[in-house]
Structure 1
Amino acid sequence: MALAIGSFAPAAFGQALLPHTLQVDPVQMEKTGISVAEEALQLARFRQYELAIPRAELATQLAPQSYQTWALLGTLYIETKEVEKGISALQKARQLNPKEAAILFSLGSARFQQENYSAAIEELKAGLALKPNVPGALFDLGNAYYKLSQYSEAVANYEKAFAAEKNFWPAINNIGLVKYENGDIEGAIQRWQTAISIDSKAAEPMLALGVAFYTKGEKEKGLATAQAALKLDVRYADVEFLKENLWGNRLLADTQKLLQTPQIQATVAQSQSQ
């Protein structure tokens, strides 16, 4: 803009000022947009969303025909719970590239956040048809079926997710959640032990295992296991957090009994103070 202004010579008295048209290079604008989007992505990796989102918005203006910029913006909106805006941006990305599975996976995640589990299943299955055996997408699909109480479909997709990635312990953990809700405590214990064998610092299956032991009557073993879990991550002492992680009514009820014990309350208080 400074160059454009400087290019005007002072007009003589009575002389008409000729208009100056700014020349725009659309190719360069798109390159700049992609560069800005890359900056937004780097910021998002450090969870600096308040800086990432304005850059992603600018990137869509500079490169409006790039599905990547719209997909990034949509994903960032969803990460910050602006789900409606996220879906709108993702749908724009989908119009530009209907064959990109990652867009459909993100739309499935957004529909899940809306608690529209049937729509989430539809989007995720469409993405998996384009790109099968993606562990995260299979896991999300299992979760959507789980929320609809379609447990056999949920378990089938959790198993596929684990088969696709052998260290993907959350899939095994969630099979344990299904089994516990169906009254198969021994089956749940087996799954949670497997999850812990994959990641010894996984607090969620560790706490669930402690609850199962405690409920079975192995009180000391259950308390010790639960205390170890809460020392790793005290967030799991919050029932609302457990609900977000898909813990069912049966497991939540048994967990609340455990959380009310003096030993666990002392562990939670100590962990929170630290």
Structure 2
Amino acid sequence: MPKHIRLISFLVVCGLWSMPKAVHAQLIPPTLQLNAENLENQGLGLAQEAAQLGQFQQFELALPRAKLASQLAPNNDRVWFLLGGLHLQARDFDAAIAALQKAQSINPQNPDVVFALGSANFQQQNYQAAATYYQEGLRLKPDNPEGLFDLGNAYFMLGRLPEAIAQYNKSFSLDPKFWPAINNIGLINYEQGDIDSAIKQWQTSVNIDKQAAEPLLALAVAMYNQGKRQQALSMGEAAVRIDQRYANLDFLKENLWGERLLSDAKRFLELPRIQAALEQ
């Protein structure tokens, strides 16, 4: 799971955006004399509004504010970072990369911008470029669990599986509650035919977070194939009720499920009990 590509799943506005309070944007009377500081304050106020709207996925409202903010405060890397993050969440990758590169040109030492550039390239399937950005981000911000996880995902997609596992293990060692890292080790184990090891990874993931639908479904699929069918069906029903997106094979593929697991998941998801759970 790329979270999961910050995939996954990418959260730019809540934890990463921090600006001093500024006045809200408003129509300026023509007679008012503006200076650079006033303009920047207007931009920061708009950026705050855009950040708040972005938290609620209201990109149609957030993006125009962020774009205007970048014009009013063109030398502020956080404003460009916000704009790039909003474009990234809206899946406009070219615009995201352009804004993030602008932020990087203003402040090359901002690791969050570098990680975001990695995410944008990852989602465009430019995995080598993504890995390079993640490596640079980790140089600036070492021992970052999510950065290590993201680098592991890039290595995963490049077929560098031992290196991917090493990054996932580093990520999990730094944050023992970050179950996506060991979940993805399970995905690799399963594709390599080591089903027992995959099951152990997913069991650990579920023990960390009972509401984690992905490892719960993966565990159900694996156990069903081992003949533990009643237990597996109960777990599968619970997983799709938690999050129905995991009943979509395309979504599973986006979360790095391999061909072996996808094939087994397809058969499992077609079972009458699982279909009934999806209809409830």
TM-score w.r.t. the length of structure 1 is 0.89
Cα distance between partner residues in 2 of 1:112 and 1:3: 46
Greater CA radius of gyration, 1 or 2? 1
Moved more, 254-263 or 54-63: 254-263
Matched residue, 1:213: 223
Give the one of 265, 272, 277 matched to 1:262. Answer: 272
Cα distance between partner residues in 2 of 1:241 and 1:188: 20
In the TM superposition, what whole-angstrom CA distance separates every residue of 1:164-206 from its partner, at most 9, and x where no partner exists?
2221111111111111111111001001010111101111100
Give the one of 49, 60, 73 matched to 1:39. Answer: 49
Matched residue, 1:57: 67
In the TM superposition, what whole-angstrom CA distance separates every residue of 1:203-262 from its partner, at most 9, and x where no partner exists?
110000000001112222221211121121122111111111111101001111111222
Cα distance between partner residues in 2 of 1:178 and 1:239: 17
SS of structure 2 residue aligned to 1:167:
coil
Give me the CA root mean square deviation: 1.3
Give the helix-richer structure, 1 or 2.
Answer: 1
Q: Which residue identity lines up with residue 213 of structure 1 in the other structure? A: M
Cα distance between partner residues in 1 of 2:37 and 2:185: 50
Give the one of 241, 248, 256 matched to 2:258. Answer: 248
Q: Which residue identity lines up with residue 93 of structure 1 in the other structure? A: A
1:3 offset after TM fit, Å?
5.1
Matched residue, 1:127: 137
Cα distance between partner residues in 2 of 1:257 and 1:3: 67
Matched residue, 1:158: 168
Cα distance between partner residues in 1 of 2:105 and 2:279: 51
Cα distance between partner residues in 1 of 2:51 and 2:147: 21
Aligned residues: 253
Map 1:179-190 to 2 at 5 A: 179-190=189-200
Determine whether 1:110 maps to 2:89.
no
Matched residue, 2:88: 78
Cα distance between partner residues in 2 of 1:2 and 1:264: 62
In the TM superposition, what whole-angstrom CA distance separates every residue of 1:79-137 from its partner, at most 9, and x where no partner exists?
10100001001111110001110110000000001100000000010011010122221
TM-score w.r.t. the length of structure 2 is 0.87
SS of structure 2 residue aligned to 1:195:
helix
Determine whether 1:194 maps to 2:204.
yes
> Quick one: percent identity of the two aligned structures?
50
Matched residue, 2:38: 28
Matched residue, 2:185: 175
SS of structure 1 residue aligned to 2:211:
coil
Moved over 4 A (4+): none
Give the one of 20, 24, 48 matched to 2:58. Answer: 48
Relative contact order higher in (CA < 8 Å, ≥ 6 apart): 2
Cα distance between partner residues in 1 of 2:238 and 2:47: 42
Cα distance between partner residues in 2 of 1:68 and 1:112: 22
Cα distance between partner residues in 2 of 1:134 and 1:206: 26
1:161 offset after TM fit, Å?
1.4
Q: Which runs of 5+ in 1 are unaligned?
A: 5-21
SS of structure 2 residue aligned to 1:99:
coil
